Structure 1
Amino acid sequence: MPRLIAVLPAALLLALLLVACDGSARPSRRFRDVAYVESSTPGFDPERHRLDVYAPRKAATGAGHPVVIFIHGGAWNSGNKNIYTFVGRRLARQGIVAVVINYRLAPAVQVPQMADDCARALAWTRQHIGRYGGDAARVYAMGHSAGGGLAALLATDQELQARHGLPPNALSGVVLDDPGGLDMYTFLMNKAAGDREYHDAFGDTPAGWKQMSPIYKLRPGLPPFLIFLGEKTYPSISSSTARFRKQLQAVGQDPLYKVLPGKKHIPMVLMLYWKNNIIYQELRKLVF
């Protein structure tokens, strides 16, 4: 897994500048800072246990609009939903209710607790999204980088789902955008000792690394996956994503898998600023 701490701030600043320059009309409503964990819950974090909902202004027909939960990246130790308003706006503009979430970060917590937060956000969404015009029976997860690994865990980890009262089919599909953390067991087993960055998030035991690696949880009957990979992304992401695809195929699913020419890791999320990029094109085919 690459070092992302140094490169993320500048790239995400660019994203913020793109949003600030967006002078187009906004056919959506943003509901900010909704708590998806009750404030009386032990361990409630008043900043990280919150999400934003972006709802299309156009009324939905039938049961409601499809819903996409977006999980941000940031090497498991940084990132904030407020950086990704452009994702919420772009999804809502396409007739999708977007739920852009915060979750707790390392070193305060480790990946199991981050996954718990994502599952809590999913449970909240299924219970409440009808108020915002969304269809609770059509909820999808989408994540970039570390958020891609968390989205994959949300779809594949049966113990995580059961712990939060979620059925195995709680997600209707998953979109992985240059995902990190799909196989942290292999990555950390082959990494030189002394680098605490990933141990802060994944702990120190090989058993824990495997437990939080979605590649070891793949099985028949999973929701469909759309997987997008930058041609010039980090080698660790490229190799683990290719193995993840092969393992999906081994359990009977042939996911949509696209390598985008010339793309590096950070531009793979910045491209979500433009509503007609290939990720949104394929997403629309999945949800509508």
Structure 2
Amino acid sequence: MRNICDIQYGSDATRALDIHLPDAPRATYVFIHGGGLTGGDKADDKALFERLAAQGVATVSVNYRLIPAARFPEFIEDCAQALAWVRGHLAHYGLDGRIVLGGSSAGAYISMMLAFDRRYLAAQGIAPEDMRGFIFDAGQPTTHFELLRQRGMDEKRLIVDETAPLYHICDARPGRPLLIITAENDMPARVEQNALMRRVLLNYGYPEALIEQHMMKGYGHCGYCGDVKPDGSFAYGDICADFILRVCG
């Protein structure tokens, strides 16, 4: 795996990305890290990048502005800009043009917003249909708890407003596969929130065959993301790689 790090896609060093390239890329995964919208880093998921590269998937891992320096929706806009940058530099870095967009936790929330609220990608000349698929790993489809906290509200409240991916599912247009991952012992109500998202998608006509779900047994929130076993097995990495290669085939 060849690593090209700290490439600036925006107007300051905060908006940077890393590219992890296999010898012969067969697909590209644009990955948005987690961290509650207040932390995390593009280098956090090394085990995932290595497993994907071993199976021929290049990963572009994105940093974005964080709360409190950033306000909604700047972190979403940053990731849309990063995706546009990737699409504009495929040939330069030897990336495959078949792209899956996704992320973990807060990164999955941002990915959901990009998938369902079409305005952010449209501002960059992109449509969700330009992706081969989306991965939502333990994301929050209701209004994100950190946004509730910023409003002085109880972060445990379940609210669906314009900052919630669920709010925009009425605009979702069927056609791209989704991989939804949650943990058996995930954050309170996270499993139920994602089950609700699936039901709402189906209610608006999203084909059931395009919605794939995985429950990670025995894990807490994102506890599987770097859990490579002594024998080299890595369930999360293999689930992601299998999905990406299938939808990009």
* TM bracket, shorter-chain basis: 0.7 to 0.9
Greater helix proportion: 1
Among candidates 174, 198, 207, match of residue 221 of structure 1: 174
| 8 Å contact kept, 1:177–1:268 | no
Pairwise CA RMSD: 2.5
**1:44-78 deviation per Cα after TM superposition (whole angstroms, max 9, x unaligned):** 331x20000011123x5xxxx31101111111100
User: Which one-letter code corresponds to 2:67 in the other structure?
Assistant: A
Report the identity percentage: 29
| Deviation at residue 153 of structure 1 after TM alignment | 1.1
Q: 1:225 to 1:203 in 2, by over 3 A?
A: farther
Amino acid at match of 1:53: I
Tell me the SS of whatever aligns to 2:181.
Answer: strand
Q: Quick one: distance in 2 between partners of 1:113 and 1:244?
A: 24
Instruction: Report if aligned partners of 2:20, 2:49 keep a CA contact under 8 Å in 1.
Output: yes
Max radius of gyration: which structure?
A: 1
Match runs of 1:1-288 below 5 Å = 28-37=1-10, 44-46=11-13, 48-58=14-24, 60=25, 65-136=26-97, 138-180=98-140, 182-184=141-143, 197-199=146-148, 210-218=161-169, 219-253=172-206, 254=208, 255-271=211-227, 274=234, 277-288=238-249
SS at match of 1:266: coil
Offset from partner CA, 1:75-124 (integer Å, 9 cap, x none): 11000112223322222221111100100100111231000011001000
Residue by residue, what CA displacement relative to the aligned partner does 1:229-267 show, whole Å, maximum 9, x if unpaired? 111111221121111111111122220112222221031
Q: Structure 2: which amino acid aligns with 1:45?
A: D
- When the two structures are superposed, what TM-score results if normalisation uses the length of structure 2? 0.85
Partner SS state of residue 77, structure 1: coil
Could you tell me how far apart the structure 1 residues matched to 2:72 and 2:194 are?
19
Note closer, same or farther for the CA distance 1:33–1:202 as it changes in structure 2 (3 Å cut).
farther
For the residues of structure 2 that align with 1:80 and 1:223, how far apart are their CA atoms? 27
- Residues matched between the structures, number: 235
Task: Give the gaps of 5 or more residues in structure 2.
Answer: none
Change (3 A) 1:81 1:122: same
Give the aligned residue type for 1:261.
Answer: K
Q: Tell me, yes or no, if the aligned pair for 1:177 and 1:269 is still in contact at 8 Å.
A: no
Which ranges of structure 1 fall in alignment gaps of 5 or more residues?
1-27, 38-43, 189-196
Question: What is the rounded CA distance, in whole Å, between the counterparts of 1:200 and 1:80 in structure 2?
Answer: 21
How far apart are 1:209 and its partner, in Å? 6.2
Find the aligned partners of 2:151 and 2:15 in 1 and give their Cα distance.
20
